[in-house]
A and B are shown apart, each in its own frame.
Chain A
């Protein structure tokens, strides 16, 4: 049984880690981009960002004044149990969001869309989002927080099978060029592309591809992995760098996630996880121990399964039979 006390402490630590400590994978990617960048304005921006991450760490202050929209991803091992059940878990995550907003402090970003009511704690109707996943084995839960920023840099479009890879590339470039100008997307970014699913799942896949996979990670489908490499390359050859200045640092990495879609369509979404690629994860075990990490490890073989039954499960039950 995992207690809500442990969840509250862990979630508060995760909020702080996400807001202040840039994940190592993104930092390494940005340092490489800074080394390779030749545009003088673009170079200056990247250098300033590297200093900014240091300042945030040293002072324990938020790396960016814009909190983005903090959200939670919770994954349950199949045998995991939480004191008070899912309702207690959700209340705990909302409490940690509110408490951390005051403690760090973070800018309260969430307001009612029409009345602009601000509870000054990043809590409200549907906020923060809490999303769930499950894994076949384990009595742990994984908690990840993502503070994704950016009113810009994300787009959705219904493409069709006939649009092909050329159409996908066009929409990808359109999104980068439209939102890269003046640096509206706060690039260089981790670009996530969601292909397939329904309209809404295509958006969800793209966002998760951007926020829940680390720099350097590749899709297990070798052909998709090749596209990821190619798209990263294309994005960095537009001639645009940080803040839309002349340069070649747009994309720190590109991740593509797919889901099966309507036979007549090919919905596509593009998401940019900005210069403040804020995420932090932890695994909470049944014995009360907690391990922190920066890789959400969301996309497992189980999350990408194609079959009715989970084959590994079947093998296990056959073995034990």
Chain B
């Protein structure tokens, strides 16, 4: 099978992008990153934003790219790291920390799984000049693993465990990612949801709602679960 010709735009982007770099990106563009990314999810957010711990690495000088992820990685006995696959975790759960995180870290790229709501983009991302990149699949862990050239540091590894530690990763041609939000706060996922919603009634023809209802139930299929 010959791979299909894709009409999508592919871009190499720095992990400390300039406002002009970001301005040039459209939702639905494919991005590959060069530079340094760090993982940060509930463990790191709590530690820095709630417990007041110091940043273990200089941000945003070192990196403007916060990855919602825990790598499949291990520190070998000789102290060296082995990184296998790298896959993001769903980002919508981290919404409550992001405003403070942007202020503390100066992040310009949030990378994760599944995007965040259009409301988050407009109210939190846009004022901070940041965009959201979603991982692809979401199972492209081996491809992302290949893009990791070196582990710069694994902070709070003992204390928070492998999954929640703050991994700082040096990356090259790291991707693919898809631009979900642009600098105006448009959301690719919400655009696609709206397109699909138009045909949903047809798919549901000939079905019937359950006799026994559940609390909080809605029959509005424009609703999302996040």
Contact = CB atoms under 8 A, between A and B. Distances in A.
Interface of A: 31, 34-35, 40-41, 43-45, 47-49, 51-53, 55-56, 59, 61-67, 102, 104-109, 111, 118, 120, 149, 151-152, 157-160, 162-164, 166-167, 169-171, 173, 177-179, 181-184, 186, 234, 237-240, 242-246, 274-276
Contacts of B143: 48, 51-52, 55
A157 B210 contact: yes
Interface of B: 1, 3-4, 6-8, 28, 30, 69-74, 82, 84-90, 114-115, 134, 136-146, 161-163, 176, 178, 188-189, 192-193, 195-196, 199-200, 203-204, 206-212, 214, 221, 224-226
B3 A160 contact: no
Contacts of B1: 31, 34-35
Contact of B72 (A106, A118, A182): A106
Contacts of A47: 3-4, 6
Contacts of B142: 52-53, 55-56, 59, 61-64
A45 B200 contact: no
A111 to B, nearest CB: 8
At the interface, is chain B mostly helix, strand, loop or mixed?
Answer: mixed
A184 B115 CA distance: 10
A243 B72 contact: no
Contact of B210 (A104, A120, A159, A183): A159
A35 B4 CA distance: 8
B199 A243 contact: no
5 contacts: A63-B141, A159-B211, A167-B208, A243-B138, A246-B195
B84 A106 contact: yes
A181 B189 CA distance: 8
A44 B196 contact: no
B196 A246 contact: yes
A177 B196 CA distance: 10
A40 B8 contact: yes
A49 B207 CA distance: 33
